[in-house]
Amino acid sequence: MNTIAPVFLKDLLRPYLDETAVLHKHLCPRQVLGVRIGLRGLRALGLIDATYQSRFDNRRKRLLTIVETDGCGADGIAVATDCHVGRRTMRVLDYGKVAATLVDTKTGQAVRVWPRADVRQLAKTIAPEARSRWHAYLEAYQIIPDDDLLNLQPVELTQSLAEILSRPNLRVNCEQCGEEILNEREVERDGRVLCQPCAGSGYYSNKTDDI
Q: Do residues 138 and 177 both lie within one domain?
A: no
Q: Are 36 and 149 in contact (CB under 8 A)?
A: yes
Q: Are 38 and 100 in contact (CB under 8 A)?
A: yes
Q: What is the pLDDT of residue 208?
A: 80
Q: Do residues 24 and 110 both lie within one domain?
A: yes
Distance CA 46, CA 62 (A): 12
Distance CA 186, CA 198 (A): 10
Reading the chain (211 residues) residue by residue, the pLDDT tens digits are: 455 566 578 889 999 999 999 988 899 999 999 999 999 999 999 999 888 887 666 655 789 999 999 999 999 999 999 999 999 999 999 999 999 999 999 999 999 999 999 999 999 999 999 999 999 999 999 999 999 999 999 999 999 998 898 887 789 999 999 999 999 999 999 999 999 999 999 998 888 877 6
Q: What is the pLDDT of residue 58?
A: 60
CA angle in degrees (0–180, nearest 5) for 139-142-148: 110
120 exposed, middle or buried (CB, 10 Å; 0-12, 13-18, 19+)? middle
CATH number of the domain bearing residue 192 = 3.30.60
Q: Do residues 68 and 114 both lie within one domain?
A: yes
In-domain check, residue 53: yes
Q: What is the pLDDT of residue 56?
A: 65
Q: What is the pLDDT of residue 209?
A: 75
Q: Do residues 58 and 18 both lie within one domain?
A: yes
Q: Do residues 122 and 69 both lie within one domain?
A: yes
Q: What is the dihedral of CA 22, 26, 27, 28, to 10 degrees?
A: -130
Its domain, for residue 156, covers 6-162
